[in-house]
Amino acid sequence: MDYDIKDLSLAEKGKLRVEWAVRSMPVLKLIEKQFAQAKPLKGIRLAACLHVTTETAALMQTLQTGGAELRLCASNPLSTQDDAAAFLAKHLKIPVFAIKGEDNQTYYKHIHSVLQLKPTITMDDGADLVSTLHSERQDLLPGIVGGTEETTTGVIRLRSMAEKGILQYPIIAVNDANTKHFFDNRYGTGQSTVDGIIRATNRLLAGSVFVVGGYGWCGRGVAMRAQGMGANVIITEMDPLKALEAVMDGFRVMPMSEAAPLGDIFCTLTGNIQVIREEHFLQMKDGAIVANSGHFNVEIDLTALERLSQGKRTIRDFVEEFCLKNGKKIYLLGEGRLINLAAAEGHPPSVMDMSFANQALSAEFLVQSRGTLQRKVHGVPQAIDQEIARLKLESMGVRIDVITEAQKKYLSSWEVGT
Ligand code: ADE
């Protein structure tokens, strides 16, 4: 079997860690039970480009049980958990192409290796797989039924492809399901980003000034958790509505140019480029820590940081010290790549449970709707979203009220007033 991973002997460690993750993924495992009976993905060749973690291993197991033939590569050069990759290759016999720390050339070589499967379904996180398909492997496009996309950045890229008439097959935006972004983006990113920054630096957040770039679902989560640990949180935003929300949530809001001289720790989560750039580095305090938790390593202008520096060294794992020509030092975490997966383990399994339940059911939905969906970006059907919320609550032992007949009637009427 073809694969490219760091070390197959890590498989036993990976197996135990996957078992641990699966304990917190009851909804996905319930779907796996249904898949074992119905085999909805039988005959499907599914090419996946996801962060190769223990949670993703749990998803691969579910898709394989559903009958899919799989290949998997990393959706980021620094997010792979090598033991999870080894587990998948050795125990599930899935061709995996992912090595933590791989260079960009290997990253794209791995995407091409996955495409050798000649997929009928793609499962992407960030849209590099889909964009490689459309630019370099157009010969494969006619065989594709549809794809799913995991993250905000990927959905934005795919919508842009659809608007320009380039997208050649339907995509389900898993990110846009309520049971995905309300939980994964907010609580998952919130906890795992703070976890990554702490693991990399061992800094105390209490009493520090923590600047969060972007107040989308991910930024909200990080701001909430950093504040909870005693940091003094500043938000930077471009969108007036989000900025207003941050103000009313009790945060200080200001432009990055004003936050730069105040911050001890900076974390970007905007999905945009050059959020922290030359003019900001020059204003920062000596010892400022700079990290990113957005999908791509474009939010911190690394070229500018290199240009302003006269030397750099790795001072501890995932911490690079840049000596600026102005005499100050700036510390960059995880090469500016998503710090929650680079220095920590990404989102905990109990939120990935819902995200990946959406992935599994969206793949099934694509098969069921074969040939009927337009070549554009579609939402996850509401019935799937609602069912995942219901199953998650059930797994947590939380019961809720049931609407009465009188209440139903009231909600569908207009005659009853004050
Ligand atoms: N994205 C963020 N956290 C993740 C995880 N634990 N597994 C897969 N993808 C993720």
Query: 344 falls in which pLDDT band (50, 70, 90)?
Result: very high
55 Cα to the center of ligand 1, angstroms = 7
Residue-level pLDDT at 379: 98
Asked if residue 44 has pLDDT above 90, the reply is yes
DSSP state of 186: I
Mean pLDDT in residue range 316-333: 98
pLDDT digits (tens, 9 = 90+) for 299-317: 999 999 999 999 999 999 9
What's the burial of 416, exposed, middle or buried (CB within 10 Å: 0-12/13-18/19+)? exposed
pLDDT at 1: 87
297: helix, strand or coil? coil
3-state secondary structure of 285: coil
> What are 236-264's pLDDT values in tens digits?
999 999 999 999 999 999 999 999 999 99
Question: What's the Cα-to-Cα distance from 117 to each of 73, 95, 187, 355, rounded to whole Å?
Answer: 12, 10, 35, 24
Alpha carbon of 366 to ligand 1 centroid (Å): 22
Amino acid 70: pLDDT: 98
Q: How far is CA 111 from CA 98, 169, 171, 286, 351, in A?
A: 9, 18, 18, 40, 26
CA dist 202 to 7, 205, 318, 346, Å?
A: 29, 9, 12, 18
Is residue 71 classed as helix, strand or coil in its secondary structure? Answer: strand
- CB of residue 53 inside a 6 A radius of ligand 1: yes
Find out whether the beta carbon of 301 lies less than 6 Å from any atom of ligand 1: no
Per-residue model confidence as pLDDT tens digits over 113-159: 999 999 999 999 999 999 999 999 999 999 999 999 999 999 999 99
Confidence of residue 224 (pLDDT cuts 50, 70, 90): very high
Give residue 191 CA to ligand 1 midpoint distance, Å: 12
Candidates 17, 24, 52, 55: which one to mutate for ligand 1, based on the most atoms within 8 Å of Cβ? 55
% of the chain exceeding 70 in pLDDT: 100
Query: In degrees rounded to 5, what are phi and psi of residue 230?
Result: 95, 10
55 CB less than 6 Å from ligand 1?
yes
Distance (Å, whole) CA 383 – CA 387: 6
Q: Residues 6 or more apart from 250 whose CB is under 8 A from it? A: none
Q: Which atom of ligand 1 is nearest to the CA of 151?
A: 1
The tens digit of pLDDT for each residue in 358-417 reads 999 999 999 999 999 999 999 999 999 999 999 999 999 999 999 999 999 999 999 988
* Ligand 1 pocket, residue 83 CB under 6 Å: no
Closest among 5, 204, 207 to 97, alpha carbons compared: 5
pTM above 0.85, yes or no: yes
Whether residue 19 is predicted with pLDDT greater than 90 in this model: the reply is: yes
Q: Is 153 in the pocket of ligand 1 (CB under 6 A)?
A: no
Q: What's the whole-number mean pLDDT along residues 83-109?
A: 98
Residue 221 Cβ contacting ligand 1 at under 6 Å: no
For residue 347, the CA-to-ligand 1 centroid distance in Å is 5
**Cβ(77) – ligand 1 distance below 6 Å:** no
Dist. CA 371 → ligand 1 center (Å): 30
Q: Is 346 in the pocket of ligand 1 (CB under 6 A)?
A: yes
Query: For ligand 1, is residue 193 a contact (CB within 6 Å)?
Result: no
Q: What is the pLDDT of residue 417?
A: 86
pLDDT classification of 84: cutoffs 50, 70, 90: very high
DSSP state of 177: S
What distance in angstroms lies between residue 15's CA and the mean position of ligand 1's atoms? 17
Reply yes or no on whether the pLDDT at 326 is more than 90: yes
- Identify the DSSP state of 319: E
Domains and CATH numbers, the chain: 8-176+347-395 (3.40.50.1480), 190-337 (3.40.50.720)
Quick one: what percent of the chain has pLDDT higher than 90? 99
Q: What does the pLDDT read at residue 416?
A: 87
Confidence band for 322, pLDDT divided at 50, 70 and 90 = very high
pLDDT of residue 56: 98
The pLDDT value given to residue 418: 85
